[in-house]
Each structure stands twice: as structure tokens, then as C-alpha cells.
Chain A
């Protein structure tokens, strides 16, 4: 309860300060639009975090073979997909303002789309296998394989190809590249989005637990 209020206050502060202070990229015609940086980058980072979480839960499934880990892994991937999609949409809006076009098949745009398709295929796979245990095993292996591509498409591809997308915005040569209040607002926003992720995860996780208990109880009822 307290955490939820804390999150509400933190997120509101991040939004208010983000809009009241001067834009993070001054000196451009479209400087005001650069405030989208506070939302675009944290969402992309949280989506990578969610994919890593899904991979960890998948490893847990393969070791313990408990259905609950499988459901949790799917949940993490689902939330990751939502954050990844939002990062792409905000990026596309930013691209319209900064580069002049919503979509130009820049390596940065192509790579995030490939990542979305890879995780979209995870759910296609889940829907295609009717047998619960086989579905869980297949999708656990798939989720681990999919996560191996995340560093490639998330971080490496946009850096080795020439791209319009800025790089080393956050860190360069081991130094934090954000100045003054920009770093503060960015961190507040990052913590907020990460908390929203864990909050959403917890709510849905509780539903998974209840569903699991209902299944077990109905099984016990049938035995009795």
C-alpha cells in the first residue's frame, strides 16, 4: 500500500519535473519534444529487464518443472512485449519529430521490430502446443534462446551499423553522460517504470497463484 503511494508520488514528480524544467536537448527546433527521452529510454530498458526475468523463470522451470514458473515466465515475456512495443511507438514519434519520418528502416528501428517479432513468436508457440507440459518445456527453451538475441538486437546492432539513432546517450567511456537534473529525472522515471513492471507482475502473479490453487482444489474434489 505504502509502496503504491510512493510509486504514484515518484512517477508524478518525474512527469512534473520533466515538463517544468527546460527540455533535456536544448538548442533544437524540436527541443520541447526531447522530453520524450524520459519515457522512451526507461521503457526500452525495462523491456530488456522483463525479457531477462522471463529467461530466469524459464531456467527455473527447466530445473524444477513446476507449472507456476512456466506461467510466470510467460507473464514476464508478455509485460516485456508491452514495454518493448511502447518503446517502439515512442521512438517512432520521436523519429517523426527529430528525423522527419515515423519509420525509415533505420537499423535501430529494424532491430527493435525483429525483437518484437521474436517475442511475438513466443506466444504463437505457446498457443500452438496443446499439451501443457510440452508447451512449458518448449517455450522455456525458446525464451532462453530468445533472450540470447536481446543483447544483439538491443545493444549491438544499432552500434555496429551506421544509424541515425544516438548512441552512448546514457554512458560513454565509463562515465555517466547525463547532466544535472536530466540524470535525476531520468533515474526517477527509470525507477518508476521498473516499479510499474514489478507491480503489474505481482498482481498477475497473484492471479496465477489463485488459478493454480483453484485447479488443485478441483483436482482434490474430484478425488474425494
Chain B
């Protein structure tokens, strides 16, 4: 009886590990900064906004900022469009676009916002 449970457990666990590892690369739609620099098609990148150097030109509607990812890479993003209202509070952003001329030219921004459900306003 006990042997059967152990064998069953091992089968279940190895199936899970196999399923997980085969999903591993396809589970995320975001590419690394290094990959974004090499690719010449439209990709999505995700990272933290370093808020200390955000430049926004209201006349030409150009938003320039630096992004840092988990691997510690930096990339400069240029977003052509008006700055989203809650950009200042955004911790993480997703940028969709293409790497050109040393900068990531984004045409779409998705913002992650603070997730502290405090209940005080």
C-alpha cells in the first residue's frame, strides 16, 4: 500500500515538473532587454521605472525614462504620446515597441500601480 502511494506520488510530481518546464519559456510574453535590442520586430518589455530621470516634453509629447529589470539591465525608453496621469506612481511598466537607434521606441505603455489595499484615503 505504501509503495503504491510513493510510486503514485513520484509519477504525479515528475509529471508536474515536466509540464512546468515545458511551459517555462512560453508563459511570458515579455522579452529581456538584451533580446529586445537584437530583435527588429515589435516586442514587449517589462521593468521598473527609475523615477530619478524622467524627461517629459509637453510640446512634442515625448516621454523619456530609464527602465531597470530583474537582471539588472537598463534601457532607455522613448514614448511618443502624452504622459499617463498616474505615471508618477507607477512601479513597473510594460512597453510595447521596437529598439531603434540606441533607445526603445515605445508606442504603448501599460502601468502597474501600487497594490497596497489600505483602506485609508
Cβ-defined contact, A162 with B113, below 8 A: no
Cβ-defined contact, A28 with B94, below 8 A: no
CA distance A106 to B29 in the complex (A): 6
* The residue from B20, B70, B119 contacting A22, defined by CB atoms under 8 A apart: B119
Most buried by A among B69, B94, B108: B94
Given A105-B29, A114-B23, A164:B92 Cβ within 8 A: yes
Given A144-B12, A178-B117, A180-B119, A104:B94 Cβ within 8 A: yes
Q: How far is the CB of A23 from chain B (nearest CB, A)?
A: 8
Cβ-defined contact, A148 with B112, below 8 A: no
Cβ-defined contact, A162 with B46, below 8 A: yes
Q: Which chain B residues border A29 with CB–CB below 8 Å?
A: 85-86
Q: Which chain A residues border B30 with CB–CB below 8 Å?
A: 161-162
Cβ-defined contact, B117 with A179, below 8 A: yes
Cβ-defined contact, B89 with A161, below 8 A: no
Q: Which chain B residues border A183 with CB–CB below 8 Å?
A: 119
Binds B, one of A95-103, A131-139, A215-223: A95-103
Cβ-defined contact, A104 with B29, below 8 A: yes
A201 proximal to B (CB < 8 A): no
A174 proximal to B (CB < 8 A): no
CA distance A179 to B118 in the complex (A): 4
> Which chain B residue lies CB-closest to A185?
B119
* The residue from B46, B85, B110, B113 contacting A25, defined by CB atoms under 8 A apart: B113
CA distance A46 to B28 in the complex (A): 25
Q: Which chain A residues border B12 with CB–CB below 8 Å?
A: 144-145, 148
> Which chain A residue lies CB-closest to B30?
A162
Q: Which chain A residues border B116 with CB–CB below 8 Å?
A: 25, 177, 179
CA distance A86 to B94 in the complex (A): 25
Q: Which chain B residues border A162 with CB–CB below 8 Å?
A: 28, 30, 46-47, 69-70, 92
B3 proximal to A (CB < 8 A): no
Cβ-defined contact, B120 with A164, below 8 A: no
Q: How far is the CB of B117 from chain A (nearest CB, A)?
A: 4
* The residue from A24, A37, A98, A178 contacting B113, defined by CB atoms under 8 A apart: A98
Q: In chain A, residues 165-220, which have Cβ atoms closer than 8 Å to a Cβ of chain B?
A: 165-169, 177-183, 186
Q: Which chain B residues border A152 with CB–CB below 8 Å?
A: 16, 19-20
B54 proximal to A (CB < 8 A): no
Q: How far is the CB of B11 from chain A (nearest CB, A)?
A: 9
Given A164-B112, A180-B118, A148:B15 Cβ within 8 A: yes
By a beta-carbon cutoff of 8 Å, the part of chain B in contact with chain A is: 12-13, 15-16, 19-20, 23, 27-30, 44, 46-47, 69-70, 84-86, 89, 92, 94, 108-121
What are 13 A-B contacts with C-beta separation under 8 Å?
A27-B114, A27-B121, A98-B111, A104-B94, A104-B110, A111-B27, A114-B23, A145-B12, A162-B92, A178-B117, A179-B116, A179-B117, A182-B117
Known: A28-B86, A167-B115, A177-B116; 5 extra A-B contacts, CB below 8 A, are A100-B110, A101-B110, A107-B29, A152-B20, A162-B28
